[in-house]
Amino acid sequence: MDDGIARMGEIVFSSTGTPVLRALGLGSCIGLCVFDPGTKLAAMAHIMLPESRNKENPELGKYADTAVPKVIADMVAKGASRSRLRVAIAGGAQLFAFAGATDRLDVGKRNIEAVKVALKGCQLKLVAEDVGGKTGRTVTMDSATGEITVRQVGGVERPLTRLS
Amino acid sequence: MATSSGSKTDSRLSSFLTAAKAGVQKASEAIRVMSASAIHLEVISAGIAPTARLSEVAGNPEDLVVGVYLSIEGDIPGHALLVLGFDSALALVDILTGRPLGASRHIDEMESSVMQELGNIVVSSYLNALSDYYGKTLMPSPPTVVVDMAAAVIDSVLLNTGHFEDDTISIVTRFAGSKRAIRGFFLYIPEIVD
């Protein structure tokens, strides 16, 4: 479905028809936003988990360790310049206090760390982040401007950054 | 949970689903009594589904919902989540406390404790049936109530339960009301089926 919405585990790209990308209701998941200001190409991944256990898993968008390199490779294949790529992330919350939960079980926190490790591995700098906490988020990226906004329950859409 | 193929797994799964449906029946009876016959539960799906698709049962991912989560300890650990549309949760509070419909407007301390009570009753009735079926001990944790976006509530439970597999066994149940439509469902995810 080319509606610009990154569903769980999906990677979407901007196009003339769908200049705005969104990931709706992120809880522990991460919305990874990548933008090339030169070509105005934007990509968004709705990452669910820190790492893939099955390295042959075709659903690369699902895991932080596979989604980051996949998004970069696809953007470059679509004509983006790797050195121009700018990145922002949102999500990684922990809504429930799980009984006996340790950091090991805090998938939100582990997702944030895994995305940062993967970005470092690809030598990409994180420009802005709105992560952690106890509430869900919707993240929106407009490829016309590189502007990223975040909305939380009961709140208005607020600007996170403008990738340029 | 891990879902390997094989007839042993298949028969375990089918016997689990039988027990789970009996559990929903019990929970439905309990909620019928609690609500003076206003509400009951109906199973809408039971089986293995891709984890990523489970969040879609809630409808619009950004819809405001009330989530009630209980972790299940004991011989068959698992996770139980009740998800109710915000307005439906308020209507349930009105029905369960005998207030006129429309009296509840926010999920504050009182409303939250009614939601916890609902979670306790639905989940413990459900677990009683499972416990009878397997002859095993199952204990629910105290319920936690959150108000947030539907997808965020569901992904937080699914991903934090250690379900890192592609598929999740789940029982999805909806609340059905004779007096007023209650939009919501009950999700139960076992850790191990044995």
- The answer to whether B148 contacts A153, with C-beta atoms less than 8 Å apart, is yes
How far apart are the CA of A154 and the nearest CA of chain B, in angstroms?
Answer: 9
Give whole-number Cα distances, B13 to B10, B22, B32, in Å: 5, 14, 28
- Domain contains A2: no
Instruction: For residue B103, give its domain range.
Output: 7-190
In-domain check, residue A18: yes
Write the CATH number for B73: 3.40.1550.10
- What is the pLDDT, as a whole number, of residue A154? 82
pLDDT of residue B47: 81
Distance CA B137, CA A103 (A): 28
Q: What is the mean pLDDT of residues A25-41?
A: 97
Residue B194 has pLDDT above 50, yes or no: no
Tell me the C-alpha distance between A152 and A35, whole Å: 23
Into how many domains does chain A fold? 1
**Residue A53: its chain B contacts at CB < 8 A?**
164
* Domain assignment of residue B1, yes or no: no
Residues 115-154 of A with CB under 8 A from B: 134-138, 153
The CATH number covering residue A15 comes to 3.30.1330.200
Please, where are the H alpha helices in B46-178?
51-54, 86-97, 109-134, 150-160
Q: What is the pLDDT of residues A111-158, one digit of tens each?
A: 999 999 999 999 998 999 999 999 999 999 999 999 999 999 988 899
Contact of B93 with B99, CB cutoff 8 Å: yes
- Using CB atoms, which residue from A7, A53, A98 is nearest to B71? A98
Residues of B in contact with A67 (CB under 8 A): none
Give the whole-number percent of chain B exceeding pLDDT 90. 29
The pTM of this model reads: 0.88
Which ipTM score applies to this complex? 0.90
Within-domain flag for B2: no
Beta-bridged to residue A86, according to DSSP, are A35
Per-residue pLDDT tens digits for A67-111: 999 999 999 999 999 999 999 999 999 998 765 555 556 889 999
| Number of structural domains found in chain B | 1
Host domain of residue A111: 11-162
User: Chain B closest CA to A120's CA: distance in Å?
Assistant: 24
Q: Residue A111 in 3-state DSSP?
A: helix
